[in-house]
Amino acid sequence: VTEVVSFSSVDAMDAAFAGHPAELVDAFGTTSPLAVHRWSADADAVDQALFVRSCHGTTLDVGCGPGRLTAALAARAVHAMGIDISAEAVRQTRGRGAAAIRGDVFAHVPGAGTWDHAILADGNVGIGGDPARLLGRVSELIRPDGTILVELAGPGTGVVQQIVQVRVGERLSVPFAWAHLGVDAIADVAVAAGLRVRHITSLAGRYAASLSQGVGSRAH
Ligand SMILES: C[S@@+](CC[C@H](N)C(=O)[O-])C[C@H]1O[C@@H](n2cnc3c(N)ncnc32)[C@H](O)[C@@H]1O
């Protein structure tokens, strides 16, 4: 009898954040290492310029990972909270002295509709595999005059929707949906999510857009 033990994407992220080498595997079998060392490091100068210094009010760090941005915001006395489905990510964020809760951005989020800012950093616009759906969900979490800061992939990326798995050692997670969104596609995706692009910043090869509620959104 073969026992099949399901290895969820959450279990895989927990193991990756706990220090086990991990890589992302796409449907073609192409692998790329997960940048856990970067997420576990402190926020760098580009993180500060693209995200931290743009947040002056309450800030929700969506998919905070080990919490480099949540902690950098807290260090500036910004009321920030990370949310992540990985218990290990939440544990490490709290270990940096920042606030974080374990949760799914698509489920109940404390303070929904009241956050001044929401951050989707370092590829997190890929959460759920449908950037317009994710941005629409995050727009429900911010105040009507709030902003979403979203990191984007480079020009020419467009919208890439894929099914991926995380490999940790010999173990492969169950497949889950992920996406990449390029700076070239943000205007159309923002409109589809009921948002508008306020401005785009490019620094050291990284791109981030600031989004706000579009005219006529929240009419319901
Ligand atoms: C790219 S990593 C985090 C990087 C982090 N934002 C940074 O810049 O250091 C993506 C994170 O999203 C989290 N995540 C994935 N799906 C999620 C969901 N539905 N709700 C909340 N967090 C999620 C993962 O557990 C993981 O920690």
pLDDT digits (tens, 9 = 90+) for 121-178: 999 999 999 999 999 999 999 999 999 999 999 999 999 999 999 999 999 999 999 9
Which residue type, as a one-letter code, is found at position 7? F
Rounded to the nearest angstrom, the distance between the alpha carbon of 215 and the centre of ligand 1 is 29
Q: Whose CA is nearest to atom 24 of ligand 1?
A: 63
Of all residues in the chain, the percent with pLDDT exceeding 90 is: 94
6 pLDDT tier (thresholds 50, 70, 90)? confident
Asked if the model's pLDDT at residue 113 lies above 90, the reply is: yes
List phi, psi (to 5°) of 35. -85, 50
Asked if the model's pLDDT at residue 219 lies above 60, the reply is: no
216 pLDDT tier (thresholds 50, 70, 90)? low
Rounded to the nearest angstrom, the distance between the alpha carbon of 191 and the centre of ligand 1 is 24
Helices and strands per DSSP (H, E), number in the chain = 7, 12
Cα dihedral across residues 107, 93, 206, 117: positive or negative: positive
Radius of gyration of the chain (CA): 17
The pLDDT, as a whole number, for residue 220 is: 41
Q: Which atom of ligand 1 is nearest to the CA of 104?
A: 20
Average pLDDT rounded to a whole number, residues 67-85: 98
Q: How many CB atoms lie within 10 A of CB 182?
A: 17
90 pLDDT tier (thresholds 50, 70, 90)? very high
Q: Cα separation of 27 and 156, whole Å?
A: 21
| Burial group, residue 201, by CB count within 10 angstroms (0-12, 13-18, 19+) | middle
CB 173 within 8 A of CB 12: yes
The mean of the pLDDT values for the chain is: 95
Q: Whose CA is nearest to atom 23 of ligand 1?
A: 63
Q: How does DSSP classify residue 107?
A: S
